[in-house]
């Protein structure tokens, strides 16, 4: 009689893997479920790139624009098109966008589970590794921030591409579908492009022959094509723009950043959105020690499990390759560490861990209960910290306040965002908090940047004082930086500086210092500081002070066209006594 037991075991094994996969999907999403009720983080890019982005209105013209232009300085058409789909179905209701994010993250965790199974790891170990990757607090930034759809979209394509590649490689075949998915991952987020190198390394380490790399030729071609497209469109779109400020460079800085990403891959600690610049000279020791501890534990466990040096080299090079885009981002953007940048490198670390766990159980079957208990405890710890951390992303005031308070020298974007939130909500306390944060941070930044921080801090503090009605303090804080001979160094001058000039002029006029007010108005108009509406308003004030009432009326009418809801313009027009029916 034919032996059917092997087939029965195979079907049973597939069924069990199916239920493990379902469990991974559900548990990966579970700690993030409260985020479905969160609003848009308007002042942290959700407003500019999602809520108020007319390019997301569903139309063929907008779809073509999204497919051929950069957003947030990156060419990421697929995430933007997915947000357009959300706009079509959910309009401006944030819950639909959040549920889409949760779905993508759950699918990414499921695909990572399937990848681990392809590495010949038993079901429960593969599920533990995928879940522990998925529920780390470092995932919160990628999952909850709607504008950061890039990680989630790229994650689904990248993990699916790698899983199909592994399945094809096991059969000695190349996978064209995997290559297509890798291309889609690359144009979802360029940091996935080094994944083709991981595939090449895997083929070599698996067979020990360079000839086996031919199986990855479709992925190599796909990655090169995506790189060419991303680079070409970015160069055209960003031509002429000023380069972002550089972070700390050098070998030591790179080593410290590398260590921080290693530690953040497994430890539920050090969370801080909009992370500050990392001052290597002051803070290198904790980062290096924590990462060295993680690396030492991994190495000892690998040797204890009998894992070959070739396999360890594979994972080390894979992590390094996937970390390189984060290193480039760290050196050329406004932060040298971001939780979201670890989305893909951390998956490599968990792949290493599940392979070690599998090998340990093969050598020591009696360790099963201990490893399982450890995985459950670590999951509970990580999920608990994630649930504690999640509400930080429920409101921009909480988000920016947390980011400011969690760092000795906060990231300027966090302080500026806190002030913007205060402006939008007319909350002097938030504006004052931002101003004080800039002034305190000025003591910890290099000398060349100190005046920039001091001026910005004084002006924010002056704005808050003016909104509270403390006019003497507002004048004291605002006038000194604005009366400087050279144009004052400020953060985001195009957004705030014109308003600060207007406030300073109002304070001078309230103190009967008309010559000083005229001098400040001339400086603002000569330098073109402010929006068109602010400049038109300032021109009207200057004409009024100089006795040219017709010129003042003309300028203020123009300002009213540009900013019809500004009560100051209406008040000034009424003062002229010429607010007739024809002006309405």
The 10s digit of each residue's pLDDT in 411-431 is 888 899 999 999 999 999 999
What token pair was written down for 147? 């504008």
Mean pLDDT across 520-537? 87
Q: What angle do CA 102, 44, 413 make, to 5 degrees?
A: 135
Per the CB < 8 A criterion, the answer to whether 175 and 164 are in contact is: yes
pLDDT of residue 329: 65
User: Tens of pLDDT along 42-62?
Assistant: 998 899 899 999 999 999 999
pLDDT of residue 284: 58
Question: Residue 562 and residue 556: Cα distance in Å, rounded?
Answer: 10
Dihedral of CA atoms 500, 503, 505, 510 in degrees, nearest 10, equals: -160
413, 417, 516, 527, 529 from 497: Cα distances, Å: 16, 15, 18, 11, 7
pLDDT of residue 140: 94
In which band, very low, low, confident or very high, does the pLDDT at 484 lie, cut at 50, 70 and 90?
low
Range from 98-107, 211-220, 282-291, 334-343 carrying the lowest mean pLDDT: 282-291
pLDDT of residue 250: 64
Q: Find how far residue 315's CA is from the centre of its chain.
A: 26
Mean pLDDT across 447-452? 83
- Work out the mean pLDDT of the chain and round it to a whole number: 85
In which band, very low, low, confident or very high, does the pLDDT at 568 lie, cut at 50, 70 and 90?
confident
In which band, very low, low, confident or very high, does the pLDDT at 5 lie, cut at 50, 70 and 90?
very low
Sketch the domain layout of the chain as residue ranges.
Answer: 396-530
Whether residue 9 is predicted with pLDDT greater than 50 in this model: the reply is no
Q: What is the DSSP letter of 149?
A: H
Question: Residue 145 and residue 140: Cα distance in Å, rounded?
Answer: 8
In which band, very low, low, confident or very high, does the pLDDT at 351 lie, cut at 50, 70 and 90?
very high
pLDDT of residue 450: 85
Mean pLDDT across 214-234? 91
Range from 3-12, 330-339, 377-386 carrying the lowest mean pLDDT: 3-12
Per the CB < 8 A criterion, the answer to whether 323 and 195 are in contact is: no
Query: Is the model's pTM score more than 0.75?
Result: yes
pLDDT of residue 79: 94
Range among 8-22, 29-43, 288-302, 324-338 with highest mean pLDDT value: 29-43
Strand partners, 74: 71
Range from 92-96, 193-197, 326-330, 455-459 carrying the lowest mean pLDDT: 326-330
> Which residue did the predictor score with more confidence, 444 or 65?
65
Per the CB < 8 A criterion, the answer to whether 142 and 152 are in contact is: yes
> Which residue did the predictor score with more confidence, 292 or 102?
102
Burial 465-502 (b: 16+ CB within 10 A, else e): bbbeeeeeebbebbbbbbeeeeebbbbebeebbbebbb
| The residue to which tokens 């380490």 are assigned | 205
pLDDT of residue 581: 37
pLDDT of residue 280: 53
Q: What is the DSSP letter of 211?
A: G
Please report the sign of the dihedral spanned by the C-alpha atoms of residue 184, residue 185, residue 190, residue 192.
negative
Range from 195-209, 220-234, 386-400 carrying the lowest mean pLDDT: 195-209
In which band, very low, low, confident or very high, does the pLDDT at 333 lie, cut at 50, 70 and 90?
low
Q: Above pLDDT 90, what percent of the chain?
A: 39
What token pair was written down for 115? 């990848």
User: Tens of pLDDT along 138-196?
Assistant: 999 999 999 999 999 999 999 999 999 999 999 989 999 999 999 999 999 988 999 99
Whether residue 402 is predicted with pLDDT greater than 50 in this model: the reply is yes
Per the CB < 8 A criterion, the answer to whether 407 and 415 are in contact is: no
Whether residue 109 is predicted with pLDDT greater than 70 in this model: the reply is yes
Per the CB < 8 A criterion, the answer to whether 559 and 537 are in contact is: yes
Range from 171-175, 242-246, 285-289, 351-355 carrying the lowest mean pLDDT: 242-246
pLDDT of residue 8: 43
Question: Residue 584 and residue 350: Cα distance in Å, rounded?
Answer: 66
pLDDT of residue 4: 45
Per the CB < 8 A criterion, the answer to whether 248 and 280 are in contact is: yes
Whether residue 471 is predicted with pLDDT greater than 60 in this model: the reply is yes
Per the CB < 8 A criterion, the answer to whether 42 and 424 are in contact is: yes
**Topology adopted by domain 396-530:** 1.25.40
């Amino acid at each position: 009689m034919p032996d059917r037991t092997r087939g029965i075991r195979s079907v049973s094994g597939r069924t069990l893997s199916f239920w493990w996969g379902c469990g991974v999907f559900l548990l990966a999403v579970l700690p993030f479920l409260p985020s479905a009720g969160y609003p848009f983080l308007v002042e942290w890019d959700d407003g500019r790139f999602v809520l108020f982005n007319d390019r997301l209105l569903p139309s063929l013209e907008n779809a073509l624009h999204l497919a051929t232009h950069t957003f947030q300085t990156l060419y990421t058409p697929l995430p933007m098109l997915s947000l357009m789909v959300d706009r079509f179905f959910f309009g401006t209701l944030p819950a639909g966008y959040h549920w889409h994010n949760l779905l993508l993250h759950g699918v990414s965790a499921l695909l990572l589970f399937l990848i681990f199974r392809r590495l010949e790891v038993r079901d429960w170990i593969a599920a533990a590794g995928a879940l522990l990757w998925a529920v780390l607090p470092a995932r919160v930034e990628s999952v909850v921030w709607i504008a950061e759809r890039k990680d989630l979209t790229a994650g689904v394509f990248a993990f699916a591409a790698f899983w199909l590649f592994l399945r094809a490689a096991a059969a000695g075949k190349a996978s064209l579908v995997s290559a297509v998915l890798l291309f889609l991952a690359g144009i979802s987020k360029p940091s996935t492009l080094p994944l083709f190198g991981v595939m090449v390394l895997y083929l070599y380490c698996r067979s020990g022959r360079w000839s086996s790399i031919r199986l990855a030729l479709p992925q190599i071609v796909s990655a090169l094509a995506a790189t060419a497209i991303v680079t070409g469109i970015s160069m055209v779109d960003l031509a002429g723009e000023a380069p972002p400020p550089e972070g700390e460079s050098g070998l030591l800085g790179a080593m410290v950043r590398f260590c921080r990403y290693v530690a953040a891959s497994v430890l539920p600690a050090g969370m801080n959105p909009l992370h500050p610049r990392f001052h290597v000279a002051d803070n290198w020791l904790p980062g290096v020690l924590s990462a060295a501890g993680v690396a030492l534990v991994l190495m000892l466990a690998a040797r204890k499990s009998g894992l070959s040096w070739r396999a360890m080299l594979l994972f080390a090079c894979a992590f390094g390759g996937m970390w390189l885009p984060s290193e480039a981002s760290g050196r050329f953007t406004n932060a040298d560490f971001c939780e979201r940048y670890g989305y893909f490198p951390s998956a490599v670390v968990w792949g290493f861990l599940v392979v070690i766990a599998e090998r340990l159980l093969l050598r020591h079957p009696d360790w099963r209960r201990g490893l399982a208990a450890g995985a459950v405890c670590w999951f509970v710890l990580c999920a608990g910290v994630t649930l504690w951390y999640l509400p930080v992303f429920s409101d921009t005031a909480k988000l920016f306040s947390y980011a400011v308070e969690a760092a000795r020298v906060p990231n300027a974007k966090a302080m500026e965002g806190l002030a913007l939130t205060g402006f939008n909500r007319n909350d002097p306390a938030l504006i004052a908090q931002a101003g004080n944060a800039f002034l305190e941070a000025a003591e910890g930044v290099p000398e060349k940047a100190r005046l920039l921080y001091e001026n910005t801090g004084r002006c924010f503090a002056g704005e808050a004082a003016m909104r509270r009605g403390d006019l003497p303090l507002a004048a004291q804080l605002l006038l000194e930086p604005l009366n400087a001979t050279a144009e004052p160094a400020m953060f985001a001058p195009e957004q705030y500086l014109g308003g600060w000039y207007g406030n300073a002029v109002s304070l001078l006029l309230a103190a009967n210092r008309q010559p000083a007010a005229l001098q400040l108005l001339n400086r603002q108009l000569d330098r073109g500081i402010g929006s068109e509406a602010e400049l038109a308003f300032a021109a009207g004030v200057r004409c009024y002070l100089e006795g040219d009432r017709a010129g003042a009326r003309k300028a203020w009418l123009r300002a009213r066209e540009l900013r019809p809801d500004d009560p100051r313009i209406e008040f000034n027009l009424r003062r002229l006594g010429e607010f007739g029916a024809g002006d309405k």
